[in-house]
Structure 1
Amino acid sequence: MNMIETDHLTKRYGDFTAVSELNLHIPQGTVYGFLGPNGAGKSTAMKMFLGLTRPTEGGFYIDGKIFPQDRMEILKKTGSFIEAPAFYGNLTGEENLDIVRRLLGLPRESVEEALEMVGLAEYKKRLAKKYSLGMKQRLGLASALIGRPPILILDEPTNGLDPVGIHEIRTMIRELPSRYNCTVLVSSHLLSEIELMADLVGILNRGKLLFEGTLTDLRDRARFEGLPTDNLEETFLALIQEDNLKRGMRQ
């Protein structure tokens, strides 16, 4: 069963097409790595899933619900981390999460549970402004995880972290489907991290989906087309360059 599926999803801004006839298939219980260079359309697609911007054409289904008819049902099932998390610095981590809890109408114990999930329970009384960058990223993940939503949409969750922080967040994301029975759509510019955490990848360039499948499928395709197969980054860059050349564009 696909937890997220799109049907020719398209978003235009005037003459510019940010996302073009996108057909994604994200199975339940997987970590799906969403890849593409800056401006490829990844964030635009994620914002459409969250109802932050409306499709120009096409549509999508999330857990069998159709946008826009079932928009509120979709949002109730979806936890998100888009761009840098924003918190009230003069409130504690616990107090910040309690605001989210109340907005979602969740029980009080969901705050403690979310803090435990991301390893912040012992720092819950610390002011958010005194959190390190890594702790703020964890608090952002806690706000996405609160109430254990079945779908998580994470846009650059390791942005700005040091190698230790990146490792911690990657390990956590990798374990989420098995521990909490959820599906994760995660974008990152750190391809080596996606290689270690994703079951499937989708590669986007200039709004178009170039590839969707397992990393093994990607290597097989790259090998067949004579592209590098040593690591995901080399294969990714070669695919993007090949697509740009087909379009008559330079890197």
Structure 2
Amino acid sequence: MEYIITTEQLTKKYKNFVSVNNVSLHIRKGSIYGFLGPNGAGKSTTMKMLLGLTAPTKGSFAIDGRHFPEDRIDILKEVGSFIESPSFYANLTGRENLDIIRRILGLPKDSVDDALELVGLEEFGGRLAKKYSLGMKQRLGLAGALLGRPPVLILDEPTNGLDPSGIHEIRNLVKSLPDLYDCTIMISSHMLSEIELMADDIGILNHGNLLFEGSLEDLRHSVGKAESTNLEDVFLTMVEQDNTSRKQRAKL
């Protein structure tokens, strides 16, 4: 099995607080990997380490055969990212905002139109960003991540703040991307029902520790749930079991 992202005992510690604790991930090439966990579990910190936005305290990772830290710049060229709500220059058009990113990345001019087409904004590229709806802004953020069609996308809460229609649009877009141009997607979300509809594999963090990695079917089996049980119920069961176990160990 070919993995495009791997981490080995990845750890991030802030003074006396461990945000990410010896996490080893294995993300298959061409898959959509749902990265789940309660607030404060360490998901965003893990993603920021993969993007070089914060340095690991311990451990290592590789993306598309390139290893951190020696290949840090090459890794950044391989990865498109969407971290939290993207910000834009309100008085520039969508196309002009993307062109700024394109120039920084040193990409050809036609990559902007290509990205706008991928996210369905080609007819709105000339509209000022301040006149975009929230859903259009999220799409523009994804277009920024898609510039140059990177082989890896890291998306942190791309449906945050959207109404049901906007969530549906972004979900269908994300689902289509691996087949459109053979990319791999790591996506976090609190919308577990959406992850259930998108993801091929799932990783679950709790208190910085990786509780599970594998398919939804394997996840259901690991907590003794029926095949029809939804992801939210299975997720809550696993996290509650881990929390109970932690409390019991703390009493010893």
User: TM-score by structure 1 length?
Assistant: 0.97
- After superposition, the C-alpha distances for 1:227-247 in whole angstroms (9 at most, x for unaligned) are 896110011011101101111
1:105 and 2:106 correspond: yes
The answer on whether the counterparts of 1:228 and 1:238 sit within 8 Å (CA) in structure 2 is no
Deviation at 1:31, TM superposition (A): 0.2
- Give the letter for the 2:185 counterpart: V
Instruction: Return closer, same or farther for 1:245/1:228 CA change in 2, 3 Å cut-off.
Output: farther
**What SS does the corresponding residue of 2:127 show, helix, strand or coil?**
coil
Using a 3 Å threshold, how does the CA distance of structure 1 residues 20 and 236 change in structure 2: closer, same or farther? Answer: same
Counterpart-to-counterpart distance in 2, 1:59 and 1:193: 30
Counterpart Cα distance in 2 of 1:8 and 1:104: 31
1:10–1:22 Cα contact (<8 Å) kept: yes
Shift of 1:219: 1.2
Runs of 4+ more than 3 Å apart: 226-229
Q: Are 1:227 and 1:238, in contact at CA under 8 Å, matched by a contact in 2?
A: no
1:241 aligns with 2:240: yes
Structure 1 segment 1-251 matched on structure 2, within 5 A: 1-223=2-224, 230-248=229-247
Distance 1:95 1:161 in 2: 24
Q: Letter of the aligned partner of 1:144 in structure 2?
A: A
For structure 1, which runs of at least 5 residues remain unmatched after alignment?
Answer: none
Deviations 1:108-160 (A, max 9, x none): 00000000000001011110011000000000000000100000000000000
Task: Give how far 1:222 is off.
Answer: 1.8
Identity of aligned residues (%): 64
| Closer, same or farther: CA 208–228 of 1 in aligned 2, 3 Å | farther
Deviations 1:45-80 (A, max 9, x none): 000000000000001010111101000000000000
Report the Cα distance in structure 2 between the residues aligned to 1:222 and 1:196, rounded to whole angstroms: 20
What SS is found at the alignment partner of 1:103?
Answer: helix
AA at the equivalent of 1:243: D
CA contact (8 A) 2:217 2:227 kept: no
Q: Which amino acid aligns with 2:222?
A: R
**Secondary structure in 2 aligned to 1:9?**
strand
SS for the counterpart of 1:107 is coil
**For residues 31 and 138 of structure 1, what CA distance do their matches in structure 2 show?**
18
Distance 2:28 2:74 in 1: 19
Contact map agreement 2:82 2:154 (CA 8 A) in 1: yes
3-state SS of 1:149 partner: coil
Q: Distance in 2 between matches of 1:179 and 1:211?
A: 29
Q: Match of 1:62, as an amino acid?
A: I
Contact kept? 2:32, 2:199, Cα under 8 Å: yes
Question: Residues 32 and 173 from structure 1, CA distance in 2 versus in 1: closer, same or farther, beyond 3 angstroms?
Answer: same
In 2, Cα distance between equivalents of 1:228 and 1:171: 24
Superposed CA RMSD in Å reads 1.4
Instruction: Tell me if structure 2 keeps the 8 A contact 1:222–1:229.
Output: no
* Equivalent pair of 1:229/1:235 in contact (CA under 8 Å): no
Query: Quick one: distance in 1 between partners of 2:234 and 2:220?
Result: 8
* 1:180 aligned partner, one-letter code: Y
- Contact 1:157/1:188 (8 A) holds in 2: yes
Question: TM-score under structure 2 normalisation?
Answer: 0.96
Q: 3-state SS of the aligned residue for 1:7?
A: strand
Question: Residue 248 of structure 1 aligns to a residue in which SS?
Answer: helix
